[in-house]
Structure formats: structure tokens, C-alpha cells
Chains A and B, each alone.
Chain A
Amino acid sequence: MTNKPKIILGMGTCGMAAGAKTLLEKVESHIREKKIDAEIVHVGCIGMCHEEPLLDIAMPNRCRVIYNKVKPEDVSKIIDSHVLKDKPSKEHALSQILPDNGANPYIGITYFEEMPFNRKQQRIVLKNCGFINPLYIDEYIARDGYEAAKKVLFSMKPEEIIDTVKRSGLRGRGGGGFPTGLKWEFCRKAAGDTKYLICNADEGDPGAFMDRSVLEGDPHSVLEGMIIAAYAIGANQGYIYVRAEYPLAVKHLKIAIDQAREKDFLGKNILGTGFDFDIDLKQGAGAFVCGEETALIASIEGERGMPRAKPPFPANKGLWGKPTNINNVETFANVPQIILKGADWYSGFGTEKSKGTKVFALTGKIKRPGLIEVPMGIPLKEIIFDIGGGVADGTKFKAVQTGGPSGGCIPAELIDTSVDYESLTAAGTMMGSGGMVVMDNANCMVEMARFFLNFSTEESCGKCVPCRIGTKRLLEILERIIAGKGRENDLDLLSRLGSTVKGASLCGLGQTAPNPVLSMMRYFKDEYEEHIKDKSCRTGACTALSRYIVNPDTCKMCGICVKGCPVEAIADGTKKAKKPALIDDEKCIRCGICFEKCPFGVIYTKGAKKAAHVKEGLSEVKV
């Protein structure tokens, strides 16, 4: 550890997308120009996606200060003031991180931990994300890294590890929620000398980025969890199945694996204990279904990624027909902490049946989107409003989708629901892998169901009939409802077919694909009925249900709408024609240009209006 000032940049995918790379170039050229002796540190995502790009500065023995939404032009000012004069630029500073080694805080800057976004969080999995440089194993080791691996290898029997994990109450964080210790025990007890361990990093839910952030920001925590699991079940070879669409995660994993091998944490005879374990990376080719464990196994074997029937379960007959244990990234990342701090410590967080914490990717119509980690059992309300800051001003919170395309929605009236496996299932949704998509009153629940179902339909592998054809038919019914062609018995058909697809599909994809539509129909039936019976969409999201009409009494015949219409759907409306404008509803493509261009506000929408108008605060006018 050097005693130089550190300039820390959030270089996760989220930071990069927000412009961290430009910022980095700017920082580099500035310190070169001014000959500033500072170390530039790359870190992963600290969770505050809504504040990216982030640039932090940590002076020796002083608190690390976070600067948010940093513009390239502000870089020199911030660095000059903070690094050269040790005076943080308060106008740009967001917060400072509580000192953990007696460093001096600055006066007048909020603490990171006390920010509304962080106050209710509990970081176990995300302990290091945004705090260490994921490219240096020493930074991980400096924060107790690989201590848990040493502890199990030198002083614990496999059965003790399994017992600890069982007592901790840790359950599968990929969505299934199966008790992790029990899963390990099945695999440990399965007959056979060769066993495999797989880390499922094929995160694919729309709006979910928990695993990506962990892999990018703290890959060693996953490797360490895998080493412990491998020792517990008796596996000598592990695989990480990671999406190829996560290039940064792949890069960081490769570097982390190499460094772990150099430090003797992976490979033959680990730390001289006689235990062999190594990890290979397998990159997925972009199929969502490969997140399903049997499809994932097929994919590693080089077969088409299609699920296989269970039983036999992977614990008995998995990869290459050998006993195999598969856990998700987040599950593995929890393990080192459980080993170090004990089962009792871990089970102190959460509810009776759902222990520990859960990482969520908070997205959608939320003020503070980002990556959060909360104790199980926290009321949903606190996540949405206290951590996420609620929905944008002027709109109303409507529902939140958990579990991505496999889950369901929780409406505003159930906002007090406790976030744990059992309560979410009771509410008709599921924990899932941790996607949380917030919807406000501009989101149409028919359209949202269509969005998620469209995803599942496209990602179905095509092996079994209910998923291959059933999801397609469900989607088509939703599409016709949205197009204003809904039929009287469509809701009945949706629920009947939905339950057959759930009940008869081969794997988790098909068994959960109807969940969004079934849960949205359960809580928002009136919206579905409106679409079918009244052919209207209250949010305006379903453009086919909206109509643009010119008020003939107030039309000034200026001709602006006629000229603006891209499909020549407006007749008359000019001084020459001496008639008010008339919109041909058949030709109209609902682009809204006439509505926006009319200088006299005489064009109305009927039934609904475009979502854009809701955003702009224009009120609907019915004629």
C-alpha cells in the first residue's frame, strides 16, 4: 500500500456507460501535466448507478470523498483543490466514506453510509465492490480475502463446512431458494470419485446486473466461495459459466483466476494441503435458457443448450454424468463471510426462513436506480422509497416486478410486503435472481406483461410443447389485446393457457414464463378489461388504442398539421380547403406529430394519449 493520494474511478460497466473512460483520460492527462504524484485506482460498481460517473479521492489518512456525476471539465478543479490543497471541492462532493482506520473525516460532507441510499443497506456480498481494485488480488487479501479458504483447508472437515452453511440458512440466490448446505450435502454424499462444481454466472433477466457487478467488482469473493464449496463436496474441477455479453466480467475473472493460481489458491496441492482444485471459464453464447442448470450443463458439454428432464438431478448425475453442484455467483460470494464470521452471525440477518441479505438491481421508474444489498425481510416500501427515493416527481408508484420474466408484480397496495422467499411467493411473485423493475402510472400492465412474455417466448429453447407454442400463443393474445383486437374470452384463455404452460413445461423457463401475465391480471384486471371492452389504455402506452381528433369548431385551418403528418392522413385543414382538418383514423400511425405541432391546441386524443405526453405533463383532453 502506497502512501500516495489515490484517485479512484468506478470502472464497472455502469461507470463506463456513464463516461468513466473519458474521465479516466482526463485524470491521466491532468496529473501528467501538473506532475501530481497520485495513484489512479480502478474499482467496480459501488452501487450508485444514478450518480455515475463517480470519481473518488482518498488522501493519505483522510476519508475517501466521492464526487458524483463528474463532468470532464470539472476534473482539474476537483483534483487541484483536493489533491494539491487537501480541500475537497464541496460543491462537487457527494459524500465521504466512514473511516475504518482512524482516518480524519472532512467537515461539512455527508457520510456515504448515512446517505438515504445506503442507510438501510447491509453489504455482505457487496462488501468489496467499489472499494477494491478487482484486478489486484492483494487488495482482496488485505480485506480478509482468502482467509476463509485457509480456515477451511487447514482446520475444517468438509462435513463441518456443510454444517456451517446449513446452519447459516443460506439459500440459492439464483432464484430457486434451495438451501445451499443441503445441496452441497447431496453432492458430497452422491456416489462417485469425480465430482464437478459449477458457478452459474449466466445472469440474463432483463434489468438484472447483480452478478455482473460482483464478477466485475470482486471476482475473488466468488473464486473463494467456490474453493470452499469444492473442498466441501470433494470436487477437483470447477467451471464458471459466464455470459460472453459480460466482457468486463470475463476479463476480470480471467485475471483473478490467474492471480489465484499464482498465489497457490487454485491448482494442484493448494497451499500444500494436498487438495487440488482448478477453475475453467466457459462463455455462454447468449441463450437465456442456459441459466437453467441442466441446459447449462448441456452447454458446457458442447451440446445444444436445452434443459434435460429431472430426475436425475445434477447432484447425482450432472456434468459428463458425474455428481455436480451448481450455485449462483451471489451464493458463492456469501460463503467466505459465513465461514469467517460464523453461521450465527449470518443467520442474524433476515427472517425465520430467509436468512442473510439479498442483492437487488433496482431499475425502471425509480429515482435512484442502482445496485443494493438489503437484509432479507426488509419491507418493500423501504427499498422503493427510502433507498430508491420513490418514483419520479409527478408520477405515482404503481407496481414493482421482481424475479424478472419469471416473476410477478407487486402492486402499490402490497408495498408493505416483506422481501423474503415466502412472502414474495405468497404475493404471487418470486425472489428471483434480484431484478427489481419499478413501474409508475405511465406503465401499462398489459404492455409490461407483453414485454416480459416476449422475452420468454424469444428465449424458449423450443424443446417442449407448452413453452414453445404455449408462450407464443399467450404472447399473441396479449398482442391482439394491445392492438385493440382483444376478444371477450381472452382473459379466460390467458389464465387457462397460462396455467397449462406453468404446469406442463419441462424446465423453469416455461414453468414461470406465464407468471408476469398471471400476476398482472390478478392485480390489474380492470386495466385488462378496459383494453378489451373499451378498447382503451389509461396510460397511453398502447398507441394502437389512442386516436387523434381535430376539434372542427376551433380549428384555425392553418395547415400545419397537414404538412407535418408523415403519412398524409390529414385532409383539408387549410385556408384554401375552407374546411377544418380531418384525421383519417385508418391511415393514422399515432406518431403524435400533429398533436405536438398544432399551435392552437385543437387536436385532442381520445381513449389514450402517447406516453410521452404524460411525461411532459400535458393533460388528456376528452372530446
Chain B
Amino acid sequence: MKLIIDNKEILANEGETILEAAKRSGVKIPTLCHHPKLSNYGGCRVCVVEVGGMNRLITSCTTPVSEGMVVNTDSQRIRETRKTLLELILSDHPNDCMTCDKTGDCTLQDLAYEYGVKENPYTGAIRQYPTEDKNPYIIRDFSKCILCAKCTRVCDEVRGVGAIDIMKRGFYAKVATPFDGVLDCEFCGNCVDVCPVGSLTEKLAKGKGRGWETRKVDTTCAYCGVGCGITLHIKDSTVIKVTPTEKESVNNGSLCVKGKFAYDFINSADRLKKPLIKKESKFVEATWDEAVDYTVKRLKEIKEKHGSDSIGGLSSARCTNEENYIFQKFIRAGIGTNNVDHCARY
């Protein structure tokens, strides 16, 4: 169907929202609570637009397109409304951007800049909740929360976990676990990844560096055969944070606790970087050639002396399917035994 957005005629599909159609045609509409992978929420209201024939401003994230619709995404009235909404949010926000880990990577900060929010006419009570950092991975600073509910929705709709939801009403509404306790979930960290502000941040990354200081390297998670796309955030030569890659990838924006948080081995002092061979009860550093030659030699000796069934092979789910296939082939055909297994079973 055809509709007009900002005087431009565009084609849209039935069931698409105004926001989606606008995005495809290159028109940027600001959002705080919208996420393409989550249900439409309509909570932050900053995506309001004018639609011909309607007096009210309507939210582009929740309103489906219709044939012949005339949409205006920018006007004095729209800008003023968006600015007031931002002023309201910031009137109940710590505004400690100088020391916030999210600075530079914060949607609220970007919008406040774009809409020129400076002297706030709205002042009053602010929510002051103690920060919850007793769980192993996530710092939950509720005073920064803007109640966009992306975290609760990703937890429920994408992960199917439902570890958190909103409790209390009105101004004092708060994202909480059952009975508002310490977060005790599977720690996939998806809530942190979707949080548009500094309310949910990675404990491991605290104070380590901010968005503009890091180099982003897209790679593949090495933990298992799924091969999730991840982005390493590197400051100097240290990985300070891992996020799911924004590119198209098998994990579609999700990660598990290992991919998201278990990266401290990378810079660990205990990490083995070279092969070791035990000589006179002591591990001694060796070259790869030495290590491979030694292994081949010993396997042959053992097979000859004790037979193929005296050897067994254990592989790892961290290898790919192909690698695991080769490994079992090697054990079965090369060594000549069926003693082969790995942590996810052959």
C-alpha cells in the first residue's frame, strides 16, 4: 500500500507500523522503548507523529500503516512534545553522565542532546532505590531506569525466562524480580544489551572504558558449536565487554552466560598460550611441532604395546560439528577403537 511520510510517497506492507515503514524509507523517528525484536510497547511516547485527519499525536511504533495515510514526523508540536517527554524523564534521572559507564552509548543522552534539553522546568521527587549488585554479573541501578520495559520484554518474549517484571504503580513503578530480591536468573545478559540507558550494566566492564574508547571487533564465540556472532569491545589490548553482534548472525541478537560474561580467560595470567610437555615430573614449554610429534609417537607406542582399545578420545562441545566429526573419524579409523565421546555425546 502507498502512504506519504514527510511529503514522500512510500510503499509499505500491510501490518507494518508507521515506524517500520519510515525506517525503511530512511526517515529517522526517535525511540526509547521500541526494539525490533520485541512486541510493540508504546510506553516512552517519544516516537509520536502527526497523522492527517487525527487531532491527537499518535505513537508510530504501535500504529499500523493504512492506505493513503499522511504522516508527518517532524513539526514544532512534535518537537515540543518530545522535548517535554525528555524533560520529564530527565526530571527523575540522576543525570550523572560524567561518571556513568553508558555515557556516549546512551539513547537518552543522545535524544537530550538532539532536542536541546537543558534547564529543566520540571523538578520534584526522584526515585532513589539502592543499586543491586549482589548478583554475579549485572549492576542494576534502578534510579536510572526509564521503565521502557525492554529488559522485561526480552526476558519474557525472547528468552522465555520471565525473571523480571514491573512491580508497584505509577511514579514508583520498578523493574523487579519476584519479591524484589537479588537477581538470580540464567544471566544471559540480554537485558543489559537492550537497556537504552545506564540502568543495567556489566559488572566486569565497570570503569574499564566507554563506548568511544573501545575498538569493536566482530567475531564468533568459541564456546560451542552454535557459533554465535559476538562483538568484542577492546580498549588498548584488553577485551572489556562482549555484546551480541548487530550483524545478521545465527544467534539473532542473543547470547548465553558464557558468550556474554565468561571472557575473562582471554587476559588471564593462567591461560595456556604454548604447548607444555611433562619432562621429569615438570611441564616444560615446547613448540607445536614438538608437541604434535610427541603425541603421535606416544599414541603409536601405546597402540602397539596395549592395543587400540587401550586408547580413548574425549572431545569438546566448544569445537564445531566438523571438528568433532573429524575427531571421531580419527579415533575410530585412525586409532581403531570406538572409545570416543564428548561432553554433548556423539
Do residues B171 and A457 form an inter-chain contact, with CB atoms below 8 A?
A: yes
CB of A460 within 8 A of CB of B44, answer no
Is A166 an interface residue when CB atoms closer than 8 A count as contact? no
Complex interface: stretch among B83-91, B94-102, B268-276, B295-303: B83-91
| Smallest beta-carbon distance B30→chain A, Å | 13
Task: Tell yes or no: A309 within 8 A of B by CB.
Answer: yes
Once the chains bind, are A503 and B166 in contact (CB under 8 Å)?
Answer: no
A468 touches B45 (CB 8 A): no
CB distance from A531 to the nearest CB of B (A): 18
- In the assembled complex, how far is the CB of residue B143 from the closest CB belonging to chain A, in whole angstroms? 14
Contact flag A500-B171 (CB < 8 Å), given A309-B59, A476-B124: no
Nearest residue (CB) in A for B64 is A311
A36: interface (CB < 8 Å): no
Measured CA separation A304–B125 after assembly (Å): 25
Contacts A464-B45, A469-B91: A459 and B170 contacting too (C-beta < 8 A)? Answer: yes
Chain B proximity mask over A262-302: 1 for CB below 8 Å, otherwise 0: 00000000000000000000000001010000000000000
* Nearest-CB residue, chain B, relative to A288: B169
Tell me if B57 and A503 are in contact (CB < 8 A).
Answer: yes
Whether A497 contacts B122 by the Cβ 8 Å rule is yes
Chain A CB within 8 A of B306 CB: no
The answer to whether B71 has its CB under 8 Å from any CB of chain A is no
Alpha-carbon distance A248/B292, docked complex (angstroms): 84
Contact with B along A469-510 (1 / 0, CB 8 A): 111110010000000000000000100110010011110000
Shortest Cβ gap from B77 to chain A (Å): 9
Is B195 on the interface with A (CB-CB < 8 A)? no
From A289, A308, A469, A506, B88 is in contact (CB under 8 Å) with A469
Interface of A is mostly: helix
- Determine if A473 and B84 form an interchain contact, defined as CB atoms under 8 angstroms apart: no
CB-based contact A462/B122 at 8 Å? no
**How far does the alpha carbon of A496 sit from the alpha carbon of B146 in the complex, in Å?**
22
Contacts of A308 in B (CB 8 A): 42
B3 CB, min distance to chain A CBs, angstroms: 15
Task: Judge whether B45 and A465 touch: CB under 8 Å.
Answer: yes
- Asked if B139 lies at the interface with its beta carbon under 8 angstroms from chain A, I say no
Residues A309 and B40 in contact in the complex (CB < 8 Å), given A463-B147, A503-B81, A504-B85: yes
Flag whether B173 is at the interface (Cβ < 8 A): yes
Per a CB cutoff under 8 Å, which of B43, B48, B88, B165 touches A473? Answer: B88
Q: B42 touches which one: A464, A472, A500 (CB < 8 A)? A: A464
Closest residue to A456 on the B side, CB-wise? Answer: B170
Asked if B84 and A497 make an inter-chain contact with CB atoms under 8 angstroms apart, the answer reads yes
Q: Given A462-B147, A463-B147, A469-B91, verify A287-B169 contact (CB < 8 Å).
A: yes
**Interface contact A504-B169, CB-CB below 8 Å:** no
Contacts of A497 in B (CB 8 A): 84, 122
Cross-chain contact A506 with B170 (CB below 8 angstroms): no
Give the shortest distance, in Å, between A593 (CB) and chain B (any CB): 32
Q: Which residues of chain A are within 8 angstroms of B193 by Cβ–Cβ distance?
A: none
Q: Mark A530-559, 1 if CB is under 8 A from B, else 0.
A: 000000000000000000000000000000
Question: Shortest beta-carbon distance, B127 to chain A, in Å?
Answer: 10
Residues of B within 8 Å of A476, CB to CB, are 124-125
B169 in contact with A460 (CB, 8 Å): yes
Contact with A along B41-81 (1 / 0, CB 8 A): 11111101000000011010011100000000000000011
Interface size class of B (residues with CB under 8 A): 35 or more
> Which residue in chain A gives the minimum CB-CB distance to B170?
A460
Contact B169 A500 (CB under 8 A): no
Interface residue B202 (Cβ < 8 Å from any Cβ of A) = no
Q: When the two chains form the complex, which single residue of B42, B46, B171 contacts A309, counting CB atoms closer than 8 Å? A: B42
Alpha-carbon distance A466/B57, docked complex (angstroms): 13
- For the complex, what is the distance from the CA of A469 to the CA of B46, rounded to whole Å? 14
Interface centre among B43, B125, B166, B172 (most CB of A within 10 A): B43
Query: In the assembled complex, how far is the CB of residue B260 from the closest CB belonging to chain A, in whole angstroms?
Result: 27
Task: From the candidates B41, B44, B81, B168, name the one contacting A462 in the complex (CB within 8 A).
Answer: B168
- CB distance A466 to B85 under 8 Å? yes
Query: Which residue of A is nearest B82, CB measured?
Result: A504
CB pair B57 A504 closer than 8 Å = yes
Interface members, chain A 299-316 (any B CB < 8 Å)? 304, 306, 308-309, 311
Do the beta carbons of A493 and B121 come within 8 Å of each other?
yes
Which of B92, B146, B170: most chain A CB closer than 10 A? B170
Min Cβ gap A16→B in Å is 30
Partner of B169, one of A459, A470, A493, A496: A459
- A304 contacts B165, C-beta separation under 8 Å: yes
User: Which positions in B face A, CB cutoff 8 Å?
Assistant: 40-46, 48, 56-57, 59, 62-64, 80-81, 84-85, 88-89, 91-92, 121-122, 124-125, 146-147, 149, 165-166, 168-173
Give 17 new A-B contacts, CB below 8 A, not counting A457-B171, A462-B171: A306-B166, A309-B40, A309-B59, A457-B170, A459-B169, A460-B170, A461-B170, A461-B173, A462-B169, A463-B147, A465-B45, A465-B88, A469-B122, A472-B170, A504-B48, A504-B57, A506-B42
Identify 24 residue pairs between A and B in the complex whose beta-carbon atoms are under 8 Å apart, listed by A's number.
Answer: A311-B64, A457-B170, A458-B170, A460-B169, A462-B147, A462-B168, A462-B170, A462-B171, A464-B44, A465-B43, A465-B88, A468-B171, A469-B171, A472-B125, A472-B170, A473-B124, A476-B124, A493-B121, A496-B84, A503-B81, A504-B45, A506-B42, A506-B43, A506-B45
